[in-house]
Amino acid sequence: MAIKIQTEEEIKDISSRFDDLLEHCTHITDPEEIKLITKAFQFANEAHSTMRRKSGEPYIIHPIGVSKIVASEIGLGAKSIISALLHDVVEDTEYSLEDISLNFGEGISVIIDGLTKISGVFDKKSSIQVENFRKLLLTLSDDVRVILIKLADRLDNMRTLESMPRHKQLKVSGETTFLFAPLAHRLGLYTIKTELEDLALKYQNPKVYNEILQKIRESEKKRLLFINKFALPIIDKLKEHNIDFDISGRPKSINSIYSKMELKKVKFEEIYDLFAIRIVFDPNPKIPEKVQCWNIYSLITDIYMPKPERIRDWVSTPKANGYEALHGTVMGPNGKWVEVQIRTIRMNDIAERGFAAHWKYKNNGQGESELDKWIKKIRELLDNPNSDALEFIDEFKLNLFASEILVFTPKGEIITLPKNATVLDFAYEIHTEIGNKAIGAKVNQKLVPLSHALSSGDQVEVLTSDSQRTQMEWLEHAITAKAKSSIKSSLKAESKIRVESGKKILEEKLGEIGLHPNSRIIKKLMQGYDSASKEDLYLKIGGGIISLDNIKKILRKNTKSKWIRYWELTYSKNIQRGKKQVPEEKAQPKIDLGKPLVIREGIDEPGKNYRIAKCCSPIPGDDIVGYKSPNETIIIHSSNCPTATKLMSSHGNLIVSTRWTSHKILSFLASIRIQGIDKIGIVNSITNVISHDLNANIRKIAIETHDGIFEGTIELYVHDTKHLNNLIMNLFKINGVVSVNRMEAGKE
- What is the rounded distance in angstroms from the CA atom of residue 257 to the CA atom of residue 275? 10
What does the DSSP 8-state code read for residue 388? -
- Any idea what DSSP says for residue 376? H
Q: What percent of the chain has pLDDT over 90?
A: 22
Answer with the one of 522, 543, 559 that is the final residue of a domain: 559
| pLDDT value, residue 705 | 77
Q: What is the mean pLDDT of residues 324-346?
A: 90
Residues 241 and 144 in one domain: no
Question: For 643-688, what is the HEC assignment?
Answer: HHHHHHHHCHHHEEEEEECCCCCCCEEEEEEEEEECCCCHHHHHHH
323 and 190, same domain (yes or no): no
Are 219 and 196 contained in the same domain? no
The pLDDT assigned to 746 comes to: 46
* Amino acid (1-letter code) at residue 563: W
Instruction: Let me know whether 159 and 20 are in one domain.
Output: yes
The answer to the question of residue 392 being in a domain is yes
Please give the helix or strand (H or E) that residue 710 lies within, else none. strand 709-718
| Least confident span in 58-67, 362-371, 436-445 | 362-371
DSSP readout, 553-607?
HHHHHTPPPHHHHHHHHHHHHHHHHTSSPPPPPPPPPP--TTSPEEE-S-TTSTT
Instruction: Judge whether 684 lies within some domain.
Output: yes
Is 581 a member of any domain?
Answer: no
Asked if 166 and 243 sit in the same domain, the reply is no
Please state whether beta strands 312-313 and 305-306 pair in parallel, antiparallel, or not at all (unpaired).
Answer: unpaired
Where does 670-744 have alpha helices with state H?
Answer: 682-688, 721-732
Predicted pLDDT at 424: 94
Contact between residue 325 and residue 342 where contact means Cβ atoms under 8 Å apart: yes
Specify the higher pLDDT residue, 26 or 69: 69
Helix (H) or strand (E) holding 429: helix 423-430
For 461, 465, 469, 489, 728, the CA distances from 439, given in Å and listed in that order, are: 11, 7, 9, 18, 51
User: Helices in 458-561 by DSSP H: which ranges?
Assistant: 474-477, 481-512, 519-528, 534-542, 551-557
User: Do residues 346 and 422 share a domain?
Assistant: no
Asked if residues 458 and 416 have their Cβ atoms less than 8 Å apart, the reply is: no
Q: Which is more confidently placed, 72 or 4?
A: 72
pLDDT band for position 365 (cuts 50, 70, 90): very low
Active site positions, annotated: 91-92
User: How far, in Å, CA of 530 to CA of 540, rounded?
Assistant: 10
Domain assignment present for 30: yes
pLDDT by residue (tens digit) across 559-609?
544 444 444 454 455 545 544 444 444 444 455 555 666 665 444 444 467
Same domain? For 58 and 92 the reply is yes
Q: Is the pLDDT of residue 619 over 80?
A: no
Q: Give the integer Cα–Cα distance in Å for 347 and 326.
A: 10
Question: What is the spatial distance between Cα 655 and Cα 126, in angstroms, rounded to a whole number?
Answer: 12
Same domain, 17 and 157: yes
One-letter amino acid at 462 equals V
- Give the span between the Cα atoms of 109 and 300, in whole angstroms: 52
Q: Which of 205, 227, 243 is the last residue of a domain?
A: 205
Number of domains in the chain: 5
Which band of pLDDT confidence, cut at 50, 70 and 90, is reported for residue 3?
Answer: low
Query: With 90 as the cut, is the pLDDT of residue 243 above it?
Result: yes
Compute the Cα dihedral for 275, 281, 283, 284 and give only its sign. Answer: negative
Residue 418 amino acid letter: P
* Lowest-confidence region among 16-25, 327-336, 521-530: 521-530
Q: What is the pLDDT of residue 579?
A: 45
pTM of the model: 0.60
Q: What are phi and psi of 745, to 5 degrees?
A: -60, 135
Residues 480 and 513 in one domain: no
Query: 606-615, long-range: CB within 8 Å, 24+ apart, which pairs?
Result: 609/633, 609/634, 610/634, 610/635, 610/636, 610/658, 611/635, 611/636, 612/636, 612/668, 613/637, 613/638, 613/641, 613/643, 613/644, 614/745, 614/746, 615/641, 615/643, 615/745, 615/746
Residue 717 lies in a domain: yes
Residues 201 and 220 in one domain: no
User: What span, in angstroms and rounded, lies between the C-alpha atoms of 712 and 334?
Assistant: 34
Higher pLDDT, 250 or 421: 421
- Are residue 221 and residue 283 in the same domain, yes or no? yes
Q: For residue 561, what pLDDT is reported?
A: 46
- Domain, as residue range, for 706: 668-743
DSSP string, 13-62: HHHHHHHHHHHT-TT---HHHHHHHHHHHHHHHHHTTT-B-TTSSBTTHH
Is residue 401, in this structure, part of any structural domain at all? yes
Same domain? 127 vs 87: yes
Q: Is residue 726 part of a domain?
A: yes
- Answer whether residue 1 shows pLDDT above 50: no
% of the chain residues with pLDDT over 70: 79
Whether 371 maps to a domain, the answer reads no
Domain boundary among 436, 464, 489: 489
Question: Per residue in 74-132, pLDDT tens?
Answer: 888 899 899 999 999 988 888 888 999 999 998 888 888 877 766 554 444 444 445 55
CATH of residue 447: 3.10.20.30
Q: Whose CA is closest to 423, among 370, 480, 381, 375?
A: 480
Instruction: Give the CATH number for residue 721.
Output: 3.30.70.260
Distance CA 664, CA 620 (A): 10
In angstroms, the Cα distances linking 698 to 54, 349, 602, 716, 727 are 49, 56, 21, 4, 12
Q: How confident is the model at residue 143 (pLDDT cuts 50, 70, 90)?
A: low
Burial of residue 254 (number of CB atoms within 10 Å: 0-12, 13-18, 19+): buried
Mean pLDDT computed over every residue of the chain: 79
